[in-house]
Amino acid sequence: MSTWPVVHWFRRDLRLSDNTALRAALRSGRPVLPLFIFDPTILRSPRAGAPRVAFLLRALRALDEQLRAQGSALVVRFGEPEQILLALVRETYAQAIYANEDYTPHARGRDERLKRTLPVPLYTYPDLLLRAPGEVLREDGSPLVVYTPFMKRWRALPPPARAENSMPVGQWIHPSKVASSGIPELAALGFAPTIAAPPADERFARALLDRFIEGPIYRYSETRNALVADPFGAEMPSGSSYLSPYLRIGMISPRQVYWAAQEALQNAPDAAARQSAEIFVNELIWREFYHHILYHFPYVQRNNFRPAYDSVPWRDAPDELAAWQEGRTGYPVVDAAMRQLRAIGWMPNRARMIVASFLTKDLLIHWRAGE
């Protein structure tokens, strides 16, 4: 390889546009090797269910198609990230690793170890959120633990960075230069066949956003609680933006969503439409709030946020839990929502609130079982 490359490690940023670390890698002046690692620790996680992994695989195939249009291809490897990255550095003489920051306890610990042990720099960039943890704090520097004060402080800060929607420019590694394991089928990862995943690519996510901003955002305050049946069908209903899974693995950036919503605010035809768009922006800030809470209080991943709830006398009721899971409680709205989740892997926000409240406050079954 005549010019030694740098690596862009795709993680929760499966897109080319408005990708902070990728843009920095392409501006390094070196050819960029696009990499995705199937980490066995993440694949074995209870959160890595078959529908989510199937959606991820579709997203990776779409990303690979985009990269091939740029004259490159996604390099896929399986194994522990430290071992994979070390081998790739030795194999290609890569001079640096670029990645966007992730704020889960697992990701933070992993990246801290990698920065200590890799023989080349691991550069990480804030990209997952509009405001990184540590930017929204009380005057004394402590984290905010209630949403409304967090939201007010968030809004009082200067505007977030603008989205860079153009395709980044730079050199890419030719696909023949580096061996890749290829994107696997679901069964090869140890998962049984599952429900059909919705479309999963950057262009579809942008189309969802554009469609939402054109009109449904102005009715969001009323329609976001509708219990829609098939949000990803041919006739996508209004109500929500349906962007949550695309934000989750980064097929669209929060900056792209936020600034599109700001444009909608400027073009709102009346006060009610403007209020609806403001409520949507508040939902983006809710997303930020929970990421900040997890960053500052990582124990919430497995424990109650408030220790006072540790003494709640949860019931051990396996038959009632199974009925809840399968949509057999006898309460139509609860059962409809849970059957929808089993059928398409998604339910509206209002439905999630209903089923979670029913499990914990009516059945008195621990939220961990519900999770």
Q: Within this chain, do residues 292 and 320 fall inside the same structural domain, yes or no?
A: no
DSSP 131: S
Give 201's Cβ-side CA count (13 Å radius). Answer: 11
- Residue 151 has what pLDDT? 98
pLDDT digits (tens, 9 = 90+) for 134-156: 999 999 999 999 999 999 999 99
Highest mean pLDDT (candidates 51-60, 160-169, 234-243): 51-60
Q: Within this chain, do residues 277 and 312 fall inside the same structural domain, yes or no?
A: no
Cβ atoms within 10 Å, residue 173 = 25
Residue 289 CA, distance from chain mean position: 14
**Percentage of the chain modeled with pLDDT above 90:** 84
Q: Within this chain, do residues 147 and 114 fall inside the same structural domain, yes or no?
A: no
Q: Within this chain, do residues 231 and 281 fall inside the same structural domain, yes or no?
A: yes
Please report which confidence band the pLDDT of residue 14 belongs to, taking 50, 70 and 90 as the band edges: very high
* Token pair for 79: 């194994």
User: Is position 1 within any domain?
Assistant: no
Task: Tell me how many degrees the CA angle 5-11-12 measures, rounded to the nearest 5.
Answer: 135
User: Is position 193 within any domain?
Assistant: no
Of 296, 315, 332, the one marking the end of a domain is 296
User: Is position 212 within any domain?
Assistant: yes
- Check pLDDT > 90 for residue 328: yes
Q: Within this chain, do residues 320 and 224 fall inside the same structural domain, yes or no?
A: no
Which contiguous run of DSSP H or E holds residue 77?
Answer: strand 75-78
Of 296, 324, 341, the one marking the end of a domain is 296
Q: Within this chain, do residues 257 and 317 fall inside the same structural domain, yes or no?
A: no
Which contiguous run of DSSP H or E holds residue 204?
Answer: helix 202-213
Q: Within this chain, do residues 328 and 278 fall inside the same structural domain, yes or no?
A: no
Q: Within this chain, do residues 258 and 317 fall inside the same structural domain, yes or no?
A: no
- Check pLDDT > 70 for residue 2: no
User: Is position 77 within any domain?
Assistant: yes
Determine which of 18-27, 159-168, 202-211, 229-238 has the lowest per-residue pLDDT on average. 229-238
Q: Within this chain, do residues 73 and 143 fall inside the same structural domain, yes or no?
A: no
List beta partners, residue 35.
9, 75
- CATH assignment at residue 257: 1.25.40.80
What letter represents residue 64's amino acid? D
Residue 12 CA, distance from chain mean position: 6
Higher confidence at residue 335 or residue 1? 335
- CATH assignment at residue 78: 3.40.50.620
User: Is position 171 within any domain?
Assistant: no
Place of tokens 């394991």: 181
**What integer is the mean pLDDT of 238-257?**
92
- Check pLDDT > 90 for residue 47: no
User: Is position 100 within any domain?
Assistant: yes
Q: What is the 3-state secondary structure (H, E, C) of 5-61?
A: CEEEEECCCCCCCCCHHHHHHHCCCCCEEEEEEECHHHHCCCCCCHHHHHHHHHHHH
pLDDT digits (tens, 9 = 90+) for 262-313: 999 999 999 999 999 999 999 999 999 999 999 999 999 989 999 888 999 9
User: Is position 73 within any domain?
Assistant: yes
Mean pLDDT (the chain) is 94
Domain hosting 114: range is 6-126
Of 244, 277, 296, the one marking the end of a domain is 296
- In terms of Cα–Cα distance, which of 336, 325, 312, 330 is closest to 359? 325
Which residues contact residue 206 at a Cβ distance below 8 angstroms, ignoring those fewer than 6 apart?
A: 252, 256
- CATH assignment at residue 323: 1.10.579.10
Structural domains of the chain, count: 3
- In terms of Cα–Cα distance, which of 54, 99, 60, 5 is closest to 346? 54
- Check pLDDT > 90 for residue 233: no
- Check pLDDT > 80 for residue 229: no
Sheet containing 6-10, strands listed edge to edge, beginning at the edge strand earlier in sequence: 75-78, 32-38, 6-10, 97-100, 122-125
User: Is position 183 within any domain?
Assistant: no
- Residue 1 has what pLDDT? 45
- Residue 235 has what pLDDT? 66
Q: Within this chain, do residues 220 and 331 fall inside the same structural domain, yes or no?
A: no
Q: Within this chain, do residues 287 and 154 fall inside the same structural domain, yes or no?
A: yes
Q: Within this chain, do residues 23 and 121 fall inside the same structural domain, yes or no?
A: yes
Q: Assign 110 to helix, strand or coil.
A: helix
- Residue 237 has what pLDDT? 64
